[in-house]
Amino acid sequence: MFDTKYKFSHILTALALCVLTSCSTDFIDLENPNAVSNASFYQSPGEVEAAVNGIYQSLRNGNGIGETSALYSEERSDNTGRNDNQSNAGEPFQFNDFSLLPSNTYLKSHWLALYQTITRSNQVLEGIEKVNFTDNDLKEKYKAEAKFMRALIYFHLVRRWGDVPLITRPLTFAEVQASTFREKQDIVYQQIVTDLTDAVNSTLPNAQTTATKGKVTKAAANALLGQVYLTMATTLAPANRTENLNKAKNHLTTCYELRTFGTLKEIPYADVFDVAKKSTVPEIIFQVVNKQGDINFSSAIARNNQAKGETINSLINSTGAGGNVTPDLVLDYEEADVRKDFNIKFANDPIVRDYFITKFRDASPAATNQGFGGNDWILIRYADVILMLAEVNMYLGNEPAAIGFLDQVRERAGLPLYAASIRNTAYRAKYPTLKLAILHERRAELAFENHRWFDLLRFFSTDELVAYFKAKSQDNFGLAKLSNFGPKDRYYPIPFDEYKLDPTKMYQNPGY
């Protein structure tokens, strides 16, 4: 059964993968306890639930948006990267060196993993209509979950590649070739908005409970839809800018009003990432849940970031340099910021002598000395929403409201509020505008959570982004060459195997 799947996985497009998963019996890994053969799918609500769980399971994939996916986002930014330009034929290094080739095999793996989640969502949304539900609210909930996750992945795709194939149902083999074309990103965004609008108007619960951690809620759907509208307002043609900003504000506000706490300072920063508190901390809106001590479903992020000679992240005995941190980020932290000492640490071991990531920790005995951590991978949390509310109010000209949201985050971080900070000569020199102050705060708050690259794309036009990187010091970036950065780096190249199927319909992005 598996031979067919793996034979095709390296010779067909991600669109063909959609076909395989609609026809074969192995589109959910058999190791997954929720796996059910496709032939027996959609006979009962319980089998639909298993299929929905298969979509959630795909979010764990590090080739997609799972906790080990920093290569495709954080390493593309100015927060982190790697100084190893030799391992794995130097392909990982291409991402932060801005020398990415269409033939890069990691790039293709990323593309395929993202479309796998879309495939599973499409499977559910077609198959669920064949099942009789006595509880229609449950049916609508499952549909909303599938639409949310499809929208989430298309949002990642459209920001990374621009125009991408838009597939919203399982395809037959005969339909694949006709569907192998890049849809304009405006149309892709329309589908994302449609899916998320359905989700916010569905029977989803408003928020997670302790028993439903990791499940989609209306809070998550509103947060994501708000971010989508904010991204559309700042990166697409300006015709609908004000309308999109107001829609972003409305959905982000709806999410904010669903919180179960007052202001952010009520939740200590360290609590958000505390494995012992992850089931009760009210800041987390949507996450991938991991199981401490479980070899298959535990988190690897703490041990992966551990530097030699250190014990702060994990009980594992590391022999490497840990999670890389650029000096550019280290220098961007304000000295009184409590997030600096929590997020990063200097390792004194002779082979390291550098900062490494300490934001994600599980050094408890339950994680064992193999580093089977209990860290959940947080995809949406309230600090992000609050800073997006600062951003959208700033764009709409309501600076007092924007500063109020910004101050919530700064106060929790132990920093002076904005009114005092902007009078500080050093702060004002680095962040002379409210826009740059918000961007800085997002960087300090959300570092290593895979937001930074998308923030840069949202805050700057292509020309501004090139100038932003060119103004940085090469000394603060290691071996990665800032001189390589140019307009082409706004988007990833279309993977070569996808492009060659139809160079006209799967046209390459400029500069590659």
Residue 491 falls inside a structural domain: no
Q: Residues 442, 419: one domain? A: yes
Q: Which positions ≥6 away from 134 have C-beta within 8 Å? A: none
Q: Residues 331, 425: one domain? A: no
Q: Residues 422, 367: one domain? A: no
Q: Residues 344, 455: one domain? A: no
Q: Residues 303, 182: one domain? A: no
Q: Residues 336, 390: one domain? A: no
Q: Residues 51, 194: one domain? A: yes
* d(C-alpha 107, C-alpha 494), whole Å: 9
Of 180, 204, 228, the residue that ends a domain is: 204
Of 204, 230, 261, the residue that ends a domain is: 204
- Look up the CATH number of the domain holding residue 60: 1.25.40.390
8 Å CB contact between 150 and 122: yes
Residue 503 falls inside a structural domain: no
Residue 249 falls inside a structural domain: no
Residue 273 falls inside a structural domain: no
CA–CA distances in Å: residue 151 to residues 15, 31, 32, 196, 228: 17, 26, 23, 7, 10
Query: Residue 83 has what DSSP assignment?
Result: S
Q: Which positions ≥6 away from 183 have C-beta within 8 Å? A: 163, 164, 165, 166
Supply the range of the domain harboring residue 64: 2-204
Q: Residues 307, 350: one domain? A: yes
Residue 183 falls inside a structural domain: yes
Task: Tokens for 127, please give them.
Answer: 């198959």
Q: Residues 319, 437: one domain? A: no
Of 375, 400, 430, the residue that ends a domain is: 375
Residue 262 falls inside a structural domain: no
8 Å CB contact between 182 and 506: yes
Give the model's pLDDT for residue 9: 35
Q: Residues 143, 172: one domain? A: yes
Task: Tokens for 156, please give them.
Answer: 């990642």
Q: Residues 455, 346: one domain? A: no
| Half-sphere exposure in the Cβ direction for 420 (13 Å, CA) | 6
Residue 496 falls inside a structural domain: no
Q: Which positions ≥6 away from 164 have C-beta within 8 Å? A: 154, 157, 158, 182, 183, 185, 188
Task: Tokens for 246, please give them.
Answer: 């107001």
Pairing of strands 284-288, 344-347: unpaired
Regions of the chain short of the pLDDT cut 50: 1-37, 39-40
* d(C-alpha 126, C-alpha 145), whole Å: 14
Give the model's pLDDT for residue 38: 55
Q: Residues 26, 69: one domain? A: yes
8 Å CB contact between 457 and 233: no
Residue 199 falls inside a structural domain: yes
8 Å CB contact between 386 and 285: no
Number of compact structural domains in the chain: 3
DSSP assignment of 409-465 equals HHHHTT---HHHHTTSHHHHHH--SHHHHHHHHHHHHHTTSS-HHHHHHHHS-HHHH
